[in-house]
Structure formats: C-alpha cells, structure tokens
Amino acid sequence: MIGYRTELRRSPLRWWFPLLVLLDLAAIFGRGRWWIGEWPMTSVQAQIPAFYLAPLLAAAAAWAAGRTGRNGLRDQLAAAARPRPQVEFAQLAAALTYGLLAYALGAAVAAGVSLPTAGPGFLWPGYLLLGAALMVSFAAAGHLAGRTFPGGFATPVACGLGGFIVIAWAAGPQQLGLFAINGAPFRTVSWPALAVRLALAGLLLAGAVGLRRPGGRSAGRRALAAVAFGAALVVVTVALTVTVPLQVDRAAPAQPLCTTGAPTICLWPEDRNQLLRAQAMADRMRQLPTALVTLPARPIAELGLGRGGSRDPEGFYVLEGDMWDPAQTMAGDIMEASRPQGCPDPAVSAFTPEFYRASGELMMWLTMRIYGGPMPATMHGGPPSVDLGAVADVVRGTDAEQLAWAGQRSEVIHRAYCG
C-alpha cells in the first residue's frame, strides 16, 4: 500500500482529476438529456465518457511509466526485492484510480438524475463494465508503451492521439465493439462479448506490469512470457471480432407497459417515463378522421416486444428519448392499414412523383397529428420532396381545413391504386 499511496500522491492525474470529472460530466450531459429516467440509456450515457477518458489515461499512464527510465531508477528497481510487477502495478493502479474514480463519479451523477423519474431498476452493470474495460485496456497499453519508450513527450502524445484514432475508427460497436452508443431497452450487452473485453483489459494489464525485456537471470522465461502474451493478444483480438455485435436482444417482458383503449401502444417497462406521452398519442390517434384513415387493429409495440424481436418491421423505436420516431412508425402503420382495398396491385408506373409526394405529405401530417406537433428540432429527416414546414402549417389549421387537405392527398393515393 505504501507504494500505491506514494504513486497516488505523485500521479500527474492528481492535479488533472477535477478536469477529468468535468470532462466526464460534459460528455454525459453535453449529448442531451433524453436518457434521463431510462436505466439502459442512462447506463450507456454513463459509459460514454470512457471514449475520452481512455485515451487520456493512456497518455497519462505512458508518461508516468516512463519516469522510471527518465529519472534513472532502473538500477534501483533492478536491485529491489519487491517483484517488478508489483512496482509497475502500483504505478498503473494510481493512474487507473483517478480515471475510474472520475468515471464512477460521472456514473453516480447520471444515476442520481435518472433516479427520480426512472422506474424500478438501476444502472446496468454491463455497460459500465464495458467502459471500465476500455479505460483499463487503454491505460495498460499506455503504461506498456511508456515502459518501453520512456520519452516524456512523444510517447504520451502518441498514446493519446493513437487512442483517439482507435476509438474513432476501430473500436465502434460494429468494429471491435469496445463500447456501446445506444441503450435501447430491447438490447443488452452480450455477456460473452463483455467477458472477452474484460479479458482484453486483464491481458493488457498483465502485460503492462508483467512483461520485461528479455535478458538477465530469467531471460528464457521472459522471452516465453512475451511470446505467450503476443499469442494471447491475437486470440483475444480474434475473439473481439467474433463477438460483434456487442449487444443482443433481450427476452420480451411478460407484462409490457401498455396504454389503455384502442389503439394500444405498448412499451418496455424501462420506457415507463414515455407512457404518458404514448397514452396521449393513442388518444390523438383515436381522434383521427375515420373517413380517411383506418387504425391498425393490433397493438402498436416497441421494438423487441413483438414476434420479430428487435428486427420487427412493425415495431417502433424511441430514438433519443423522443416519441417522434414512434409517431412516424405509427403513421406508417396507419397508412398501411388505410391502403385502398379491393383494387388490384397497381403497376409500379402508377406510382408517379405526385403519388409519392401525396403519400409523404399524408404520412407526415399523420405523424404530426399523432405526435401532437411539428417535428422537434432535435430530429432530422423525412420523406423526400415533402415540405415539413408546410405540413406543420396544415396541422395548425382547423379540422375542416385539415380534412380537405388530407382528402386531396388521399384521393391521389386512391387513384394510383384503383385508377
């Protein structure tokens, strides 16, 4: 403990710690507030700062590890009774302590702000462990680099920049899968995938503190350890690629949360803070003019609740905590249910640009009606050639005006199907 306490006291991160905490909180809250009140999203959000902390830790660990060489302590360490891995571990543990403490504080704050509005449950450990594994892996790699190349500038800078490049280009959920960016309730971290990432962190940690330059009394053993480390690294890297995607579907809950009355909208229990909004949307759907639209008969369910799991084509997804995307899905369902019946399938040539525009406009009108307003500024996209502002103006009009406007679009669609 003396060595660890000493390393804690002299770690450069001692002075940077407040900045690490600020960075952590900025990464959590700077991306939006939509995750508040939803445990899996809060968990992923608490993991997001690891993207930034991990490369910084790699740089700091490289700088700290290089001090032994820069300050000329090689002979003293070589003459030490204490096993070298313990000495190195104390140093690396100090850097990790500051990094992981900042990470844990951020997670605690995220949990604290979610707690009042989220239902039963808490942070999902899988996501938090994923972020921790990323930080340990990067710090260990930085430590190893610092031991090997003890420069005080080039090595830490290379480790920091290299870390950011790996995060940006190779570590994403669809690449090496070292982190998650989406905490939808219908998905969770695959435990085998997490185990492999923890194994990577453990392996790099062992290598960072245990590997020594071949030579001296245990030259053969050291060389063998280096070869074994390299081989294990190859195996774990292959395992990383094999265990992508990182997230797997969760089993649907026996009792999802559903709105009352028809049509019914069902949500994952983790999305309980959307239930009131969903109920309002269901109520608004009931108020749609039945002369123009037919409401779907089956419950409208969040992805993962239906038979198709997370790939259910009829399920909706609460994107970034907003019900706009679900409203779009519901509008699509209504368009499908309202398709002219009894007419033969038209030739593709019947679908003119006018048809596509009418379909798009009608769909966006339905979306805004269900959503209860125009598309929020945080959302993007929409059908091509549809003026969303103009549709929003229509939604603000009287019922009669809206009915006439929608009737014209419906007529165009009907003509395309039934001539």
Partner 1 sequence: MDPVVRVTGLTQGYGARTVIEGLDLDLGVGAFGLLGPNGAGKTTLLRTLATIAPPGAGSLEILGRRITSERSARRARREIGFLPQDFGHHPGFTVHDFVAYCAWLREVPARQVHRDSLRVIEQVGLADRRNERMKALSGGMLRRAGIASALVGSPRLVLLDEPTVGLDPAQRLEFRELIRSLAEDTAVVLSTHLVEDVSAVCREVAVMAAGRFVFRGTPAEMTALASPGTQGDTALERGYISVLGAGR
Sites of contact with partner 1 (CB under 8 A): 1-3, 6, 9-10, 67-68, 71-83, 87, 216-218
**Contact yes or no for 292/406 (Cβ under 8 A):** yes
Closer by beta carbon to partner 1, 61 or else 305: 61
Which residue, 2 or 297, has its beta carbon nearer to partner 1?
Answer: 2
CA 45-49-51 angle, to 5 degrees, is 115
Smallest gap from residue 156 Cβ to partner 1 (A)? 17
3-class DSSP assignment, residue 296: coil
**Comparing C-alpha atoms, which of 398, 391, 397 is closest to residue 374?**
391
Between 90 and 141, whose beta carbon lies closer to partner 1? 90
Q: Hey, what amino acid is at 223? A: A
Q: Which is nearer to partner 1, 34 or 149 (CB)?
A: 149
Query: C-alpha 121: how far from its chain's center?
Result: 19
Query: In 115-188, where does DSSP find H-type helix?
Result: 125-148, 154-169
Min dist. Cβ of residue 82 to partner 1 (A): 5
Distance of closest approach, residue 74 Cβ to partner 1, in angstroms: 7
Running DSSP on this structure, what letter comes out for residue 298?
S
Instruction: Say how far apart CA 3 and CA 9 lie, in whole Å.
Output: 10
Tell me the backbone φ, ψ of residue 257, rounded to 5 degrees: -85, 125
Do 62 and 142 form a contact (C-beta atoms < 8 A)?
yes
What distance in Å separates the CA atoms of residue 185 and residue 189, rounded to the nearest whole number? 11
Contact 184, 124 (CB under 8 A): no
State in angstroms the smallest separation of the CB of 90 from partner 1: 8
CA–CA separation, 323 vs 300, rounded Å? 13
CB of 146 to partner 1, least distance (A): 14
- Nearest CB to partner 1, comparing residues 12 and 382: 12
Cβ of residue 69: shortest distance to partner 1, in angstroms? Answer: 9
CB of 188 to partner 1, least distance (A): 43
Nearer to partner 1, 67 or 415 (CB): 67
Q: With CA atoms as reference, report the closest residue to 320 among 31, 28, 24.
A: 31
Nearer to partner 1, 75 or 345 (CB): 75
